[in-house]
Amino acid sequence: MKSIAEELESVLKVSDRLRAIDENNASLRPGPGKWSKKEILGHLIDSAANNHQRFVRLQLGQRLELPGYEQDGWVSVQHYQDRAWPDVVGMWETYNRHLAFVIRHVDPKCLKNKWRAPDGQDVDLEFIMADYVVHMRHHLDQIV
């Protein structure tokens, strides 16, 4: 999974651009019910936490049934909006550097192990890892 790890590491190069965003801009909500840049990046931290479980657990067993997560609730309960922007960026970057390391060292024999997603679809570890990076790029495009 070296290629997915390298892609994730490449995405993390945006960290300097994120750090250049000022606190006011990072806190601005573009409209009612819309997330600020802080909250979008917080959502990506939540995605990292949930996917971390999948990346590890699917190497320890062939099937996994974990719930999805209620993203608005996770963002709200963790109060990313009230955190300092540099702290949110640092947490996101550090967590994802670790996930890139985990992905780089995934046991290839586990790539077809399955997670039952909340929609009832079975998805394998290889797909989950690749999709994680796609999801991250989508949200980073909203920020930068």
pLDDT digits over 91-132, tens only?
999 999 999 999 999 999 999 999 998 888 999 999 999 999
Work out the burial of residue 50: count CB atoms within 10 Å of its CB; fewer than 13 is exposed, 13-18 middle, 19 or more buried. Answer: middle
Q: How many independent structural domains does the chain possess?
A: 1
pTM of the model: 0.95
Q: What is the DSSP letter of 14?
A: G
- The domain of 59 spans 2-143
Quote the mean pLDDT of the chain.
Answer: 96
CATH code for the domain in which residue 133 is found: 1.20.120.450
pLDDT band at 2 (very low <50, low <70, confident <90, very high): confident
pLDDT tens-digit readout, 43-69: 999 999 999 999 999 999 999 988 888
* Contact indicator for 26, 38 with CB cutoff of 8 Å: yes
